[in-house]
Every structure is written in C-alpha cells, then in structure tokens.
Amino acid sequence: MPTILLVEDEPTLLATIAYTLRREGYQVLTAADGEAALALAAQEPDLVLLDVLLPRLDGFEVCRRLRQRSAVPILMLTAKSDEVDRVVGLELGADDYLTKPFGMRELLARVKALLRRRDLLVAELERRAVEAEGERLVAGDLVIDLAGHRVTRANQAVALTPREFDLLAFLVRHRDHVFSAERLLEQVWGYDQAVDARTVPVHIRSLREKLEEQPSQPRRLQTVRGVGYRFVG
Ligand code: CA
C-alpha cells in the first residue's frame, strides 16, 4: 500500500486524518512541523498531505523545498479559502489543495485521485523507457537503430549487410551470452534455410573488420574457443 506523509500541527486533526488513512490501509508517516516533514520526506512517501500554517517552516516553504528534489504528489491543506494561498501553493508545485474544514470522505477522494494520477504517470514513463530501449541498442560508442536499420560507431555510419545487421543486433541484445555457430544460424538465419556452417565465422570476421579497432584482436565480438561467439560491451 502507498505511504502517505501527513504534515499537520493540530494534534486532533492529525490524529483524525492519520486514523482515517490507516483504516483505508495506507502507511502513514506524521510530522507536526515543517522541518520534521522534510526529514521524513527522505523516506520517499507516495503522497504528501501538507498543512500551510506550520511551526518552524510553513507549508509553502516545505512544498518549495520538496519540489526541488521530488515529483511526489502534494495536497495542500489550507485553513483559509483564500485565493492567494491556493494560487501560491499551486505555483510552488502543489498538485491540489483542500480547504479546512473538510470531510474525511472528501480527503480520501482527493488522495485516491492523486495516487491514481501518479500511477498513470509512472506507468507512462515506464512504457516510454521500454519503447526507447526497444528502438535502439547502445553499447559504448556503438548505436544500433533497430527501426531505421542503421548502425553508427562514434557517430559515424557503419555500412552493414542486412545479415550482418541482424547478427550484430542479436549478439548485442544478448550481450555477454555465448552462442554457438549453430545457434546463431538458427536464431539469425532461421531453421529452414540450408546454410553453410562457415557462414557465421565469415560474418563475424566481416563485422570485426567494420567494428573493431584491431580485427585480429577483437574486444567486442569475441570468440570463445570451442563454444562460440559473444558480444562484450
Ligand atoms: Ca496548521
């Protein structure tokens, strides 16, 4: 369950909100002043409920400092239905605000909405990262653009045949794993093609000519004697 950092200096309100959240299954960290809030924020809560009027550091300052290091959703709790407070809070990076007095149902609805929004955002970022990973393979100064079927080394285009490209992409995708020539024939050339077993060493040699500083002493496309080939990098 998500962890919520609750920052509120009125003991009764703090206890009531903490009780309500825990009953819903949330983990709750509590702080009664701004400095304690910042210290607890190091535990990376999933959401912050932040009162505006606090001893030591006020909620606006806590919000500003949190935003310098974290994208955690922040729900401000303000005593005044003051437009200025609301605007200041949002400008400092708060995601939403709630004006006191508020009901616990209303609070829970806002909490759930913010956590759901955060989940969607996290999922979207993960999807984009996976997609970016899927389109390009990077190994040191070597970049394999899978969608564009292009390879660059130190930003210089490397001309490869389609088979060399497939072989290189396969080995880089499974870097550090050793594959026998037979296995590479299966994976890169396909089962149903009758191909000479010497095809693989020929292609490896050609790739080394194009990619290695010293093709006779390859550092990336290595031969593992008696076993096969692997890409290291
Ligand atoms: Ca207060």
pLDDT category at 187 given cuts 50, 70, 90 is confident
Distance (Å, whole) CA 148 – CA 135: 9
What mean pLDDT do residues 47-53 have? 95
Distance (Å, whole) CA 34 – CA 125: 31
Topology classification of domain 3-131: Rossmann fold (3.40.50)
Asked if pLDDT for residue 170 goes beyond 90, the answer is yes
What mean pLDDT do residues 9-28 have? 97
Asked if pLDDT for residue 195 goes beyond 80, the answer is no
- Residue 51 has phi, psi (to 5 degrees) of -70, 150
pLDDT category at 90 given cuts 50, 70, 90 is confident
Contacts of 212 (CB under 8 A, 6+ apart): 218, 219, 220, 221
The residues spanned by each domain of the chain are 3-131, 136-231
What secondary structure does DSSP assign to 8-28, as a single string? -S-HHHHHHHHHHHHHTT-EE
**pLDDT tens by residue, 104-147:** 999 999 999 999 988 888 877 777 776 666 688 888 889 898 88
Buried b (16+ CB within 10 A) or exposed e, 82-118: eeebbebbeebebbbbbeeeeeeeebbebbeebbeeb
Q: 9 alpha carbon to ligand 1 midpoint, in Å?
A: 5
Asked if pLDDT for residue 192 goes beyond 60, the answer is no
Q: 20 alpha carbon to ligand 1 midpoint, in Å?
A: 18
What mean pLDDT do residues 27-56 have? 96
Q: Do domains 3-131 and 136-231 have the same CATH topology?
A: no
Q: 55 alpha carbon to ligand 1 midpoint, in Å?
A: 8
**Inter-residue contact 91 to 76 (CB < 8 Å):** no
Q: 158 alpha carbon to ligand 1 midpoint, in Å?
A: 64
DSSP-H helix ranges across the chain: 11-23, 34-41, 59-69, 83-91, 104-135, 162-173, 181-184, 199-211
Q: 77 alpha carbon to ligand 1 midpoint, in Å?
A: 8
Domain 136-231: give its CATH architecture: Orthogonal Bundle (1.10)
Distance (Å, whole) CA 91 – CA 63: 10
pLDDT at 115: 94
Q: 7 alpha carbon to ligand 1 midpoint, in Å?
A: 9
Contacts of 45 (CB under 8 A, 6+ apart): 2, 3, 4, 5, 29, 72
For residue 200, is it left (φ>0), alpha (ψ between -120 and 50) or beta? alpha
Q: 32 alpha carbon to ligand 1 midpoint, in Å?
A: 9
The structure's pTM equals 0.58
Q: 26 alpha carbon to ligand 1 midpoint, in Å?
A: 22
Average predicted confidence (pLDDT) for the chain: 89
